[in-house]
Each structure stands twice: as structure tokens, then as C-alpha cells.
Structure 1
């Protein structure tokens, strides 16, 4: 039996629910911590990744809508959107060959019903998972999930594997049938980063007192970090950036810079290198100067542009993201990998710093799609390559393993798969090893 405790958090302030977002202005902080931006000291990706660089092996089959995967010490922890949390042996995942494991081969350490008030409306449910950076000495898991408690919200809890105690560390995150965000991760600073969606109410994303449409940065206890962004008296000091629509992917460069992927409206998907106190524009800003429906980043000095915006004609539907700085798959080193849902593809993004401004339009050729438009983040040019298009179906996440391999999660049983998917053994964990 789980013991459940909780913490009382500061009430939300300045809620703009019900306000017409057309009348909003972009929110800006009163003060931000110093942005320690400098030229990267890591080698930019200089090889073109291809599918021939890796061998793909299904290592776990017959899962039910897996959502997140993380490795710690000798363990791998997996969430399933309509269920709970499973634990696998990391060595077993690395060594499994022809006969894939089934879900019963992974120990269920949290059932869905173990999570208080848990609900799974639409795209909600059991979503992100993170492990305390001092695991196994601190045997604690952190889980982001959707609740129904007089309304739909999202919550982050801490689960102690030794005592079976659950404690709420962050609540008051608006939720809905869609746009719940949900990815969580510990950064190199030991803080917990939490991605939240706009909960189908875009006006909330320009309210610094709301926890919707934001990247939150907190301590493992859910408190503000020691040097938070100052959003004013009505702002939430847990908010690192805001103006996001539905972010679902975060990882960190070797220098500790957070890299984010988020869903755009009818395409216009984005990859960003976050700046503290940045406002990423939703839903006032979402494109370039020629976008037929949304204002452009070049029109708003307060808006922080991404390094990639796929434009109104191209959909990635990005979810999980990983910065791969291992050299096990040599040609893939220092690429950002982004899992695509509706696109049924994996994207490999190379970031090149210090390039000249482009001519205002992204270009696709036989070396990839180049994003160097003059309204994008001028610190980098991004080049994206498309891998495995249509081979595995919908991809929810990609996670580096301790063995240097990469692990893909499919999402073909979420009701949105097409063509021949779901396959008989979906959903799956697919391991990518060097060929």
C-alpha cells in the first residue's frame, strides 16, 4: 500500500482564463538571471547521419502507448500513458537480440491506480518520468501525470522506491484533453525541468502567474530555484520560459543549454535553445514574415525565436528529444534527435554556431533541410535530416542508453496511427546500435 503525502504550493496568480488572446501582449520578465551564452565548446556535428549507420532491434514488444523512458544506474524506467511505471534491467535491454521482451518481463512498480486522482482524458495520463540525479542513493522517481480532481489538471509526484511513499512536489498545472506537455528531466544543475502545455487555452501562456504553456525549473522539492526569473509580483518564480503551445521534448547540450521541441499549430513545429526569461510567442507569434495566419517573430522584439520553425506546410509533430554526445554511433555524435508522431519519422538536427544570416527562407536539398532564415535564432544554423520515415510508425521518444545505443518508443496504439500501423507487436522499444 502506498503512503501518500503532499505539499501545499503557492496559489496561481493573475489567471487570464477566458480572456480573448487577440487582446494580449507578450509577457516579459522584470529581471532574469545572467544568460551565460558563449560559443559552444563541443564539436558541431560534422557528419551526415543515415539509417545505414545503425542496426534496429525491437527489445520490448506489446506495450500499451509507452510515453517516456529514462535510464539510471542499472535500471530503465518506462511510463505507459494509460497505465503506470515499469522497471527493466538496463543490461537486459542492451543485450536482448532476436526475442523481444514482453511487458510482463518488466516489473510494474507503480500501477495507474497507485497515482492519486489519475485520469487519462485524450492525450493525458501517465506521461513524463525522471530519476533523482543521485540514484540509487536517493531512490526517488518523479512522475508527471494528469488528474481529475474537480477539473482536469496535471501533477508531478515523487515516489520513494524504498518506502513506497508518494509526495506531490508540483501541482496546479492546467490540463485538458490535449496540450498537456508532460516531459520532465533533471538538468546538469540538479534542478527538475517540467514542460507544460497550454491546456487548450492559449491565453494562459502569456500569463506569468499560470503554469500553462511554460518550462518550469524547480528544485527536487518543487520550490523555485535560487536565482529564478523575476516575472513580477503576480508571476510564478518557477517559470523559466513561457509562450509555449505544447512542448514535449527537452535535453541539454554538453554546456548545459536546454534544447526544447514543441508542437506548432497545423505544422509550424519548433526546436529552440532556451534563454532564461524567454517568451516563445504563442499564440500571438508563430512564424516568419510570410506566414499567412500568424504574426512573425521579426515583428516582436519581446519574442524569442526558435532555431527551427518548420513553416506552415511541414509537420513533424515533435515529441521526445535527445542531444546525443556519445561517440558510439560516430556519425550521429552531437546531433539533436527529435521523435516525430504524425510525421512517422526521426529527425537528426545538426547545430552550427556563428553562421551568416540566411536569405529569409529555409532550403531543402540533398544535404538536408537548412534553417538559417534571418528571423530565426541567430546563434545557430540548423540542418535537419529525416530518418526511418514510415518504418516504425509514430515515434514518441528517443533516449540514449548507458551502452551508447539509442532507444525509440513507438506510439501506434494511441488511436492516431495510419497505414499498416499498429503492427502486431506494437507498441515497442526499438534499440539502435552502431552497424
Structure 2
């Protein structure tokens, strides 16, 4: 079944929207079916019991300190029980003391411990954008001393894997493999959700059609147990589907976090801009590579034309590029104007986007994103996710170059990871001592 949106409810009452044909509609004379599950868990939308701060976020709200320099393309960071784990795309996994990161500055790689060498990851390879990517600690760490790592492998063909590393036993076990890989579009972010299950983001591996194949693990959000088995409440994608799949139709997702109510929020790279921020629905199909734009996009199908596609909260359109990577939902009041916002790192934009999400009524909606210097950029077009309006403020543009990830630290602080030595930086970057971890402390 398809998850209902306001447009589908209007269709049921006879309002003028494209006619449904099962769970897909026709665009012009060609009908294209998007994959949908046999059954979908209930998606009862509950308006958030939180609201973004009623203030304009500013760079002056925080004090910035470079904590660690000279890293080899840091990709992910997670903090757990006094330990801070950092992956380097062209290396392995380092462990820093979390208190040291929170208090000191001007550290180097050797101030941390090399926990996993790249050679310790079987068949590890780093083609293009691949390599050692996501990292997550077990929810019961350190009582359960397990660390999970997503990396690119080449054993005669490029793919991606998730391994579990037992720090006490010094034992490595593959829990998830068979994720298509390539020199680009490997996804890579992993995180434990509020249900203590592991969420895994995968890219389309330069084969867009795989994103519409429920039996492929490409272009999808997977939700698995710590052993790599399907979450028991995942959607049923049919006999040929993979029960590990929570959503599909993704191009190259690299950002994931959860609201205080446990709702997953995802950021992914679009084609030629068209970057997206989405609220995930179980069984949602996010359209790639059939749908990726609005009604005025000349190159890609519109979400208005494909009712099986779940629309995003933000689509930056064909003229604005974020190249979004890691994100965090900031629910701390230490940085007041940033409270209850989604923080999204931009690679091409070289900026941190602060996104406020507010519920909107059925009467809201404009045709285009609107903006001014005070209110930021507002996304509330009718063809976007009709549950919320997104308001975006861009901070620190070109301050540190390409930003790969943002991670909450102690006492309301945040950590930013730069990605200036990945071959994509230009202008003044990379700078001496890139790449780095920058700490943002509340003023």
C-alpha cells in the first residue's frame, strides 16, 4: 500500500490530482511503476511536540575551535561513553578520549589511538569516494563493547560491508554484505536508532535502476538488528524483496538522525543539484531515478505526477547545490537559536545549513522556495512533503571548506568534520593542517 499524503486524500475525495493506477500514475504517455511494499507498517503522523527556536540562528551563537588537525579525510565521528571514534576514508578508525576533545585544542592524529588499521578490514578498498566510511557504537557500549564500521571492499568486485568489531576480544565479524559499490554513490552512514536497531544508508553505486529494485541493497535505507538480520517490523517487499529494506528510491544518502519523537530524517545528494532532506516513512519510495523534481523541472519527473513517490521536505532545485552529507538533530537548549533544528553539512556549499521544521496546515504552500536575509530560505511548495515547512539558514560558508559531518558533543557542543583532501576542494582549500575536527561551543 502507499503511505497517504494530503494529495492522496484529496484524490480520494475527487480533487484534481493525477489519477492513480494502483500505486503509480502516468507521466505523459509513459506509465512507470515505482516499487512499493506488499504491506506497510502504520505511519500515523503525529505533529511534533517540539518546535524550532523562535530566533534566527547565527554564527555568533557559537565559538569555534580546531580540535584535531592533519587527518586523512575524516568521514564519520561518534561519541560513546567517554570515547570518540573517528573514521578516515583513506585509513581506518581512530579513538580519542572524549573529554580531551571537549576541552583541548590543536591535537594531531597521534593524540588518538589507531583502533583499526585499514589493513585490518578484510578486502578494504578506497576507489574514488569509497573507503572507510560510517561508524557507530552499540547502544549499550561499553557494556557491550561492539563498534560497527561501514566500508568499501574489493574481492574481485567492488561492494560495501558492515562489520562488527568486538573491542575486548579484538574480533571482527561481517554482519552485512552484498551492498553494491562503486567509485561514487556508496552511501555509508550508519546509526543506531531509538529502537536500538542499526540503520544503514546505501547509494545506487552508479546503477540508478537498482534503487527501484526491492531485492537490491543499493539506493536504500536498511534497518537491521546488531546481527544484521531484518528488523521484525520492516515493510514486506514481496517474495523477491529484501526484508532489511526500510525505504528505497535513494540516490546517495549520507545523512541520518532522529527527532526527539524518534522520526528518522535523511539527507541525500541529488543529480545536478536537486539535493534533498526527507522525513522517512516506513515503506516509502523516494523516487530515484524516476522522480527528482517539481512541476517546472525540465529534466526529471515531478513528485506531483507520481503518487507512489514520497516527496521530500526540501528539494534544492536545479540551481542550488548543497551536496549534503552528515546531519544531526540538535535538541539541546545550550545554543538557543539552534534548538530543535536539523543541522546539515554541505560539501559543495561548504556551509552548515540550519533547518527549522514546523508543521503546516493544508492551506499552506507556495509554488517556489522563498527567502530574505532575515527569514532564510523557506520550502513550502505544494509538491513537497505537506506535513512540514522547512526554513533554512546557511552558516559558515567557505569558513572551513567542505563539511562532511556534524556530531553533537557534551554540554551542547558540536563537532564538524572537514573533507578538503578528498580531491574535490578548490579555491583556498585544502589549507595547511587540513583535514580537521572543529568544535563549536555555545557562547
TM-score range with shorter-chain normalisation?
over 0.9
Give CA deviations for 1:283-327 in whole Å, capped at 9, x if unaligned: 100000000100100001100000000000000000000000011
Tell me if 1:207 matches 2:232.
no
User: Among 299, 302, 312, which residue is 1:296 paired with?
Assistant: 302
Q: Work out the CA distance in 2 between the residues paired with 1:107 and 1:229.
A: 40
Q: Work out the CA distance in 2 between the residues paired with 1:33 and 1:376.
A: 22
Q: What's the counterpart of residue 143 of structure 1?
A: 149
Q: What's the counterpart of residue 58 of structure 1?
A: 66
Q: What's the counterpart of residue 431 of structure 1?
A: 439
Tell me if 1:369 matches 2:384.
no
User: Among 112, 126, 130, which residue is 1:124 paired with?
Assistant: 130
What stretches of structure 2 of length at least 5 have no aligned partner?
1-29
Q: Work out the CA distance in 2 between the residues paired with 1:208 and 1:294.
A: 22
Question: Aligned-pair RMSD on alpha carbons?
Answer: 1.0
Give CA deviations for 1:196-220 in whole Å, capped at 9, x if unaligned: 0000000000000000000000000
Distance 1:23-1:94 versus aligned 2 partners, 3 A rule? same
User: Among 36, 39, 47, which residue is 1:39 paired with?
Assistant: 47
Q: What's the counterpart of residue 193 of structure 2?
A: 187
Give the C-alpha shift of residue 23 in structure 1: 8.6
| Contact 2:41–2:234 (CA under 8 A) maintained in structure 1 | yes
What stretches of structure 1 of length at least 5 have no aligned partner?
1-21
Q: Secondary structure at the match of 2:337?
A: helix
Tell me if 1:108 matches 2:114.
yes
Q: Secondary structure at the match of 1:331?
A: helix
Q: Secondary structure at the match of 2:40?
A: coil
User: Among 88, 102, 105, which residue is 1:80 paired with?
Assistant: 88
Q: Work out the CA distance in 2 between the residues paired with 1:33 and 1:342.
A: 36
Q: Work out the CA distance in 1 between the residues paired with 2:359 and 2:170.
A: 46
User: Among 385, 399, 424, which residue is 1:391 paired with?
Assistant: 399
Give CA deviations for 1:384-416 in whole Å, capped at 9, x if unaligned: 000000000000000001231010000000011
User: Among 337, 352, 355, which residue is 1:349 paired with?
Assistant: 355
| Contact 1:144–1:157 (CA under 8 A) maintained in structure 2 | yes
Q: What's the counterpart of residue 202 of structure 2?
A: 196
Q: What's the counterpart of residue 170 of structure 2?
A: 164
Q: What's the counterpart of residue 18 of structure 1?
A: none
Aligned residues: 412
Q: TM-score, normalised by structure 1?
A: 0.94
Q: Work out the CA distance in 1 between the residues paired with 2:279 and 2:347.
A: 21
| Contact 2:52–2:338 (CA under 8 A) maintained in structure 1 | no
User: Among 359, 382, 388, which residue is 2:366 paired with?
Assistant: 359
Q: TM-score, normalised by structure 2?
A: 0.92
Q: Work out the CA distance in 2 between the residues paired with 1:288 and 1:23.
A: 18
Q: Work out the CA distance in 2 between the residues paired with 1:44 and 1:412.
A: 31
Q: What's the counterpart of residue 10 of structure 1?
A: none
Q: Work out the CA distance in 2 between the residues paired with 1:130 and 1:288.
A: 35
| Contact 2:189–2:255 (CA under 8 A) maintained in structure 1 | yes
